Amino acid sequence: MAPARDRRTGFSRRRQYSAFFGYVLAVAGAVVGAALLAASIFNPPAFSTARMAVASVTAPVASLLDSGTDAIASVPQAIGTWINVHGENAALRAELKRHDALLSKARVIAYDNRRLRGLLRVRDRTPEPVLTARLVASTASSGRRFALLNAGRVQGVTPGMPVLGPEGLVGRVLESGPIAARVLLITDPESLVPVRRTRDGLPAIAAGRGDGRVDIRSVGAANVRFAPGDMFVSSGIGGLYAPGVPVARVERAGSDSVVATPYAPPDAVDFVIVERPFMPMPPPLPPRAGPAVSPAAPAR
């Protein structure tokens, strides 16, 4: 026969002891509570002394537990702070490295300018501006790249004049009418501009691609390496464009021929400056007179 589930405490000595001590603790707690309540009512100084004695015992334990809790809670914050500081430090180092590279390029360019001016004693010629006009239209869908200038021969605009924007070279005048002119942009496939690299003077050609960008092609050298951000300006070779006019900046690294972005894209240029050619062609020589022929003597 299975034993009954509902047993009394007398069947288990452990349960008897547990029940007994439970009753004892409950009665003791009630007695102590009643005594403390009576002391707080009838003898507040004694109750205050007992309360401070208990507080003196529990305060160190509470302080230790509170310190441990704060230490554990500060661990995630410390880890997050370390990660943030590490990332900010890396970003600052990268920015400092970029600034150092720009400063080095500027110093190299300034040194080259001083050296060339001192050795060659050459003074830059600044062409005289003809006028300031507006680009009123430009091709955007065809493979050719032209722009329309709202000035023509009446204002002194003639074919071959360079056209400059605020940031750099735009192109040259291809045709001119009485009050309008057609500009061949540097991004046109038929446009070729002699350029040089600013950091070392490397000669190259900026050839239009027909898609709003130009190709930078090396001249007279093989396996020439181009780096992203290389700046190219007009070299003055050919006598049309003045030297030192910004033309394009290299987009990606490459060799011999790379794609570059013009400094003055036509869709972002409003007003332009039309200049005279840097070194205009000399006027044609007058025809040479032939040897004088004396008239024949009359026959006698």
Query: Which tens digits make up the pLDDT trace of 161-170?
Result: 999 988 889 9
Supply the pLDDT for residue 1.
46
Supply the pLDDT for residue 294.
52
More confident residue, 224 or 118: 224
User: In DSSP terms, which residues pair with 258 in a beta bridge?
Assistant: 216
Supply the pLDDT for residue 230.
92
Fold of the domain built from segment(s) 130-275: Thrombin, subunit H (2.40.10)
Packing angle, helices 44-120 and 13-42, rounded to 10: 90
Cα dihedral 187, 193, 198, 203 sign: positive
Tokens 């004695």 locate to 53
Residue 86 has pLDDT above 80, yes or no: no
Hey, is 185 helix, strand or coil?
Answer: strand
Amino acid at 197: R
Q: What DSSP state is assigned to residue 220? A: S
Query: Which tens digits make up the pLDDT trace of 13-65?
Result: 777 777 777 878 888 778 877 776 776 777 677 666 766 676 666 667 666 76
Q: So where are the chain's domains?
A: 15-120, 130-275
More confident residue, 71 or 195: 195
Tokens 């300031």 locate to 132
pTM attached to this predicted model: 0.53
Q: Which two tokens stand for residue 15?
A: 């349960």
If we measure between CA atoms, which residue out of 267, 246, 239, 161 comes closest to residue 196?
246
Residue 197 has pLDDT above 90, yes or no: yes
Residue 138 has pLDDT above 80, yes or no: no
Query: Which tens digits make up the pLDDT trace of 22-35?
Result: 878 888 778 877 77
* Max avg pLDDT among 4-8, 35-39, 57-61, 91-95: 91-95
CA dihedral 165, 166, 169, 174 (to 10 degrees): 10
Pair type for strands 203-208 and 169-176: unpaired
Supply the pLDDT for residue 124.
44
Residue 176 has pLDDT above 80, yes or no: yes
Rounded CA-CA distance 95/90 in Å is: 9
Residue 300 has pLDDT above 50, yes or no: no
Residue 259 has pLDDT above 90, yes or no: yes
Supply the pLDDT for residue 121.
46
Q: Which two tokens stand for residue 44?
A: 């507040």
